[in-house]
Structure 1
Amino acid sequence: MEHPTVHVCEDCRNAIVNDDYTGLDYYHDREEADERERQIRAGLKRLGWMTPTDNTIEFSLNQCECCKIDGDGKRYEMVLFRMELSSALA
């Protein structure tokens, strides 16, 4: 079974891999950091559980597929794992 992949920004990657949002305070004031965290958490809720691969796009103009930010920069590939209810009960 092949799993779908998404490409995420560095902020989302840190949240996915380490459950770490502290770096947001470095680049943003408290209000902006809180908003970024809400965007990231909403994306994680929408996408579900995922894990990183070794694939990185060094420079991308594409939107982050998690938080939907439009900034350019690195994108990190993540593999999505969605378990169907019927297979979970089998």
Structure 2
Amino acid sequence: MMRRTLRWPHRHPGWRQWAPPSGKRAGAAAAFTVLIALVVGGLAQLRIDTGVGSLLPADDPTYRAVETKARSFGGDPIVVLLESDNPRGLLLE
């Protein structure tokens, strides 16, 4: 019975896909695990700021004016970004 058990892996090569990694494969698996942990840790610290403060410097007079109006009127600001090939085209059309 023991001989039959010892010969089993050689007759069934598909068993290796379920075997624990060894040697170089173990090192690669460990490196991959560390890489995934670092990526997940970095993504957990990612913050998204969609406020007007993320678009303008804090000492900008426009930002201060927007903040003053927001305190007066409340509510969420709506930011509209317009682009043109001609820099002054949007103002003069």
Q: TM-score w.r.t. structure 2 length?
A: 0.25
More helix by share: 2
Tell which structure's C-alpha radius of gyration is larger.
Answer: 2
Structure with bigger RCO (C-alpha 8 Å, 6+ apart) = 1
Q: TM-score w.r.t. structure 1 length?
A: 0.26
